[in-house]
Amino acid sequence: MRRIGRLAAVEAAFDPLPVTAEVARAWGRLASAVARRGGTPRRRQIDLTLAATAVVERVPLLT
């Protein structure tokens, strides 16, 4: 139950950023760049979605 309480506190502290059509286009550009460098975008879908959202929203991405 403590995890649920912590999750609720985090959810209350942050507003989620939407995955919009603009984010999807940025995702495509990032996935293409990964593929050009020999990577596998499919294995990095969540990371690319987070990165694309940060790019579109012009916010830093801290991991």
CA 61/CA 38 separation, integer angstroms? 23
Q: Has residue 8 got a pLDDT over 80? A: yes
What are 58's two structure tokens?
């012009």
Q: Has residue 1 got a pLDDT over 80? A: no
| pTM for the structure as a whole | 0.77
Q: Which residues neighbour 18 within 8 Å (Cβ) at sequence distance 6 or greater? A: none
Q: How confident is the model at residue 35 (pLDDT cuts 50, 70, 90)?
A: very high
Q: How confident is the model at residue 4 (pLDDT cuts 50, 70, 90)?
A: very high
pLDDT at position 63 is: 84
